[in-house]
Structure 1
Amino acid sequence: MTAAPSAESFEEARRRHLIQATIETLGDVGFRAASLSEIARRAKVSTGLFAHYFGDKDGLLEATLRFMAGSLTRATAEGLRAAGTRRERLFAVSDAALSDEQFESRTSAVWLAFWGQLTHSERYKRVQRIYQRRMTANLRHGLKGMVAADCVPAYAAMIAAMIDGLWLRSHIGDGAVGSDGSSARALVRSFIDGLLAGAAADDAAEPVRPLPVSRPEAPPEPLHVVSPVTGADIARLVPARDTEIRRGVQDAKRGFAEWAGTHPAERAAILRRCAEALRRDGAALTRGESLETGRPLRNTGGPDLARAIALVERAAGLAAGLAPSRIEVAGGRECRTLHRPAGLVAAHIPWSRGLLDLCRSAAWLAQGNAVIACVDGQVGETAARLLGLFREAGLPEGALVLLPGDAQTLRRLEAQADLLGREAMRLVDGTADPETSLWATRPKSTALVLPGADPERTAARLLDTTGAWRASDFLSETIVHVHEAARADLAKTLAAQAARLRAGDPFDPATDLGPLLSERHRAFVLDLIAADCTSGARLLTGGRALTQRDGALACLSPTVLDGCAETSALVRTSTFAPVVTLVPFADTDALVARLRRGPAEGGVALFAGEADRPHAVAERLDRRLVVVNDDGVGALPCAAGEAPVHTAPRHILAPRG
């Protein structure tokens, strides 16, 4: 009973071996010289074996052609499964047909040999027709909804013809098309972009419009995303440039047309389903985010996930509240209020809090806007999985567009005239060249420690990274201004509590602080610590690399520096590290005046002992969120990074009825 599967496996392996020998022979000696004896010699078998498996030579060659076509079909199917949009489905078809493997010399020679025999063999024609029908069907499926229905067959035929034509041209050797697949893939992508852009033009324009095809850009170097937990590559991505940004804007415009026309009640229902999907699958998402970023799972899967779900649920409530309203006014008239979405909103999703920041964009979606998010590659996989959940919950394609990015991507995206809602961002020097690494952040959070503040409670809250007033759960992303009268006690207590924190494996429930992104990241932070100490700051605890047994984790001991200045490197630079910087001050009024001149987006925590003094200071700070004597109990009704409103209310006054 157990012999059949193994015998069948042997048979399949033998068939594959004979077909591979046929491909090798065809590639080396050509179609005419590829005799059964030559193939048998290379396969080290007798010629009689071919009759057993394939009947005759024609049967062998047909099986070989089916094998090659099947490999292409499987590669296409794999690309289609990974595609998140209809445009990406079109790219998946062309990329598979023009993959580097299809330009390998032996594979190319075999395809050319078979194509040369098509007019002489009905069997080969049949196999080729089946493959071409599959390609055309996949292209038509991707084009549906992107172009007018009557254009779908013609556009699919045009794309298929260009794929085959470029492949053939690449073998002429005239330099018009490169000898590898990269230039051919870029040309087909540019052609597809042109077809879709032409289809998106105004229907009232001339019936014959020029095809807006631009010369494809040379792709930038791919970014290799490495897990700070395992040290292994977890992703390879190419950061978006002008071509990809234009595609993103086009897709977002299409998505906006559908999403903005969705009734607010339906938008609310979709967002509620998004929140439910996040509640259902959030544990897997947050484990992935911890693997990508090294942030402790107790943070990503705890307060971050809870806050992300709350943001999406709050967005659903916002959408429901934007339904058209009607009130009666004097004179037998009524006023109807409609909320029109503003358009396309740009968002930046840094690696330091990817899942939470992406869910923050739900507020813009609730208002009917489309969001184009520049996503740091370090959290690219998490962002893509979250988008997949939202799409399954009913979010239309194009309502949320993700662009894998680096610093150049962010700059180019912010320069787009069609976008609004650019947040206050700053690009800062990081662990790599800021031209190729997305090292951008929101303004740091601020903590003010006034005279009379309880040192134990204040230190505990400053080291608790889950505060809603924080821009990030990295200790370095909060600037702690401490009054001279409270400085000594706080510094001593803070150093003692920080020394008890545990840095290490982010999946260990006992871990308080995860690793830095890489050894290079850690070396960068250690250099800044040394520079600030040379400039007069005093190292109270930490400031050293921690050795891990497996060598994969680049951990840094929890660090506290006292006596920093507002111009200190660690204060000015976002390092995303377990480093607390204490900046002493003596004049509260002067400090408040300086803080008022800064951006209003960042949250502020205010610690003091007096009952009335901190409230007066809080009112003068004029920040979006100020938390006085944060005790860490209960959820706040708002958060420091809450999205601003982008809608345009429209009021219509008319007779009742």
Structure 2
Amino acid sequence: MPAPAHDTLLRRAEELDPPDQHHIDGVDEPGGGASFAVVSPRDGRLLVEVADAGSAEVDLAVAAARRAFDSGPWPRLAPADRGRILLRVAELLQEKREQLALTITLEMGKPYTEAHDIELRAAINTFRWYGQLADKLTDESPHTSPDALALVTREPAGVVGAVVPWNFPLTLASWKVAPALAAGCTVVLKPSENSPLSALLLGRIATEAGLPAGVLNVVTGDGPTAGRAIGLHPGVDVLAFTGSTAVGRHFLRYAADSNLKRVWLELGGKSPNIILPDAPDLERAAATAAWGIFFNQGEMCTAPSRLLVHSSVAERVTEAIVARARELRVGDPLDPATEMGALVREAHLDRVLDHIGTGVDEGARLLAGGERTLHHTGGSYLRPTVFDRVEPGMRLAREEIFGPVLSVLTFDDLDEAVRLANATEYGLAAGLWTSDLSTAHRVSRALRAGTVWVNCYEEGDLTVPFGGMKQSGNGRDKSAHALEKYTELKTTWIQL
């Protein structure tokens, strides 16, 4: 179904009534009266003042989750019954898809078409997939001695604190919340202060779907206060975080300083995308490289921000990407014709511009973009940016920029390509373009990354796990493996 017209979306956006309170114990909760502004990067306008959680509100949410886990029905429901409620959440997400997509677009700046067609599809599919999986998990009974019976059972781990970022606010919340609920856990969800509104709507939707009070609680606030309170809280058993590597370190410290809660981290990336001369289709490889770095304004931890291209085809590939960068339509994210929206906040735009300035100062060649645009809107817009002549030691090649900035590096042989690809503290994802099956297998094995895409990028579904190596984190989202984060193995040995 085509997106509504621009004027229709503008009118519907004006009619939105954003949530402004925490969702705790099944009801909206105003908290202690403190609030913070949620400003749209689309035009710099205030969307709403949202309740700002301190330690008291976090205590309230954790207490509700604790009661729901220790004495409530959710962990004790038959898995099939839990699954039915998760399927109902998916149905309601579908029914409210336009409202949620508009909310995401206004709060973090991505084009409405991407919020509706990609982000909401992922969130809906996640709740549906784990709803269908809930009653299909099995325990173990290992073969042991004839006079004993051994049982290995999976039990819900307890109260989960889930702290998620702003770039895919509903998708990444769903990747944490849905498997945790399927396992029988209860959850305290803290979205980014840049994108709290869609998560608050998710809390309401889950309650409407029949989730018992206290099973999913949503508190809004910043990282140093609300996030820290969740990380240090002795009533939280498991912490699942997606965000920067620097903040991930804080959560490990919080666990060490409190109850040694398990901490699962999906952190930053500086993903290499390797194009070999025998790529099956160089034009498609270049187009995909451009799409990958400019999609979602480049605000993706998996963004292929380092293009490693063989010197024999580097000029051809780079020219194609530069041409795409120059024609890409940057504009109002509520306009269905827009291909790249606004960066999440003015401060983030300034940070990306600082990286671009450093790249120029260090000697990289700016081929496209590198400057803000649409000043008159009041929004945070940047032209798609491409650098070549990037050296491995430059800041452009080492640090995560989290914006639409591509760094092109060249190599002359396969060993050099692998060395360059692995020359980073991150290990989240990588891409490889080749027609040789042996090369595809050998290089994929050699790359230190949690996901390697061959002759594609950002492909996959919920059957496969997602997560990183090295300083990109630990544990996995998606697939049945995600349940490992939210369950404990118990051994029962019965002497016969």
Cα separation, 2, equivalents of 1:81 and 1:523: 28
2:269 is aligned with 1:444: yes
Q: Deviations over 1:330-389 (max 9, x none)?
A: 859866553201123332211111010111111122112223222112221111011111
How many angstroms does 1:241 deviate by? 3.4
- Note the aligned Cα RMSD (angstroms): 3.8
Equivalent AA in structure 1 for residue 65 of structure 2: A
- Alpha carbons of structure 1 residues 588 and 246: separation in structure 2 relative to 1, 3 Å: farther
Alignment check: 8 A CA contact 1:322 1:367 kept: no
Matches within 5 A, 1:460-499: 460-465=287-292, 474=300, 477-485=303-311, 486-499=313-326
> More strand by proportion, 1 or 2?
2
Structure 2: distance between partners of 1:524 and 1:630: 30
Uncovered stretches (5+) of structure 1, i.e. residues with no partner? 1-79, 96-184, 187-218, 430-439
| TM-score (structure 1 length as normaliser) | 0.59
From 63, 84, 109, give the equivalent of 2:23: 84
- Counterpart residue number, 1:406: 222
The reply to whether residue 309 of structure 1 matches residue 124 of structure 2 is: yes
Structure 1 residues 473 and 528: CA distance shift in structure 2, 3 A: closer
Give CA deviations for 1:140-160 in whole Å, capped at 9, x if unaligned.
Answer: xxxxxxxxxxxxxxxxxxxxx
Residue identity in the other structure for 2:182: A
Q: RCO higher in 1 or 2 (8 Å CA, sep ≥ 6)?
A: 2
Q: How does 1:637-656 map to 2 (within 5 A)?
A: 637-638=463-464, 640-641=466-467, 642-643=476-477, 644=482, 645-646=484-485, 647-652=487-492
Partner of 1:556: 382
What is the match of residue 404 of structure 2? 578
SS of corresponding position for 1:379: coil
Answering whether residue 182 of structure 2 is matched by residue 356 of structure 1, we say no
Aligned residue type for 1:620? A
Secondary structure at the residue paired with 1:84?
A: strand
Match for residue 615 of structure 1? 441
- 2:405 and 2:391 mapped to 1: Cα distance? 15
Give the conservation status (yes or no) of the 8 Å contact 1:476–1:576: no
1:506 is displaced (CA, Å) by 1.0
Relative distance call for 1:264 and 1:325 in structure 2 (3 A) is: farther
Q: Secondary structure at the match of 1:378?
A: coil
Which amino acid letter does the alignment assign opposite residue 256 of structure 1?
F
Match of 1:320, SS? coil
Of the two, which has the highest radius of gyration? Answer: 1
Matched residues in 2 for 1:378 and 1:511: separation?
22
How far is the alpha carbon of 1:490 from its aligned partner? Answer: 2.1
Could you say what secondary structure the match of 1:235 adopts? Answer: strand
How many Å separate the matches in 2 of 1:415 and 1:253? 15
The answer (yes or no) to whether the contact 1:442–1:471 under 8 Å persists in 2 is no
Match among 102, 110, 114 for residue 287 of structure 1: 102
Matched, 1:627 2:440: no
Q: CA 1:326 to 1:633, structure 2 compared with 1: closer, same or farther past 3 Å? A: closer
1:279: Cα distance to partner?
1.7
| Number of aligned positions between the proteins | 440
TM-fit CA distance, 1:288: 1.0
Higher helix share: 1
Cα distance in structure 1, aligned partners of 2:396 and 2:151: 53
SS of the equivalent of 1:504 reads coil
Distance in 1 (CA, whole Å) between partners of 2:459 and 2:422 is 28
Partners of 2:166 and 2:273 in 1: CA distance: 27
1:506 alignment partner, one of 333, 342, 354:
333
**Which residue of 2 is the match for residue 199 of structure 1?**
none
C-alpha separation in 2, matches of 1:238 and 1:328: 54
CA 572–399 in structure 1, closer or farther in 2 if over 3 Å, else same: farther
Describe the shift of the 1:592–1:316 C-alpha distance in structure 2 as closer, same or farther (beyond 3 A): farther
Q: State the one-letter code of the partner of 1:414.
A: G
Per-residue CA deviation, residues 572-617 of structure 1 (Å, 9 max, x unaligned), is: 5544422222244556546646766867872322222433212211
SS of the residue aligned with 1:405?
A: coil
CA distance in 1, matches of 2:175, 2:427: 14
Quote the residue 1:343 is aligned against.
Answer: 158
Post-superposition CA distance 1:539-558 (Å, at most 9, x none): 1111122236x523332111
Map 1:316-335 to 2 at 5 A: 316-322=131-137, 331=146
- Measured against aligned partners, the alpha-carbon deviations of 1:166-203 in whole angstroms (never above 9, x if no partner) come to xxxxxxxxxxxxxxxxxxx68xxxxxxxxxxxxxxxxx
Aligned partners of 2:101, 2:244: CA distance in 1, in Å? 27
Instruction: Map 1:107-506; keep pairs closer than 5 Å.
Output: 222-237=35-50, 239-257=52-70, 258=72, 259-322=74-137, 331=146, 336-361=151-176, 362-409=178-225, 410-417=227-234, 418-423=236-241, 425-426=243-244, 442-444=267-269, 446-452=271-277, 453=279, 454-465=281-292, 474=300, 477-485=303-311, 486-506=313-333
Tell me, yes or no, if the aligned pair for 1:541 and 1:559 is still in contact at 8 Å. Answer: yes
- When residues 345 and 337 of structure 1 are mapped into structure 2, their CA distance, relative to the original with a 3 A threshold, is same
Q: Is contact 2:306–2:397 with CA below 8 Å preserved after alignment?
A: no
Please give the secondary structure, in 2, of the residue aligned with 1:509: coil
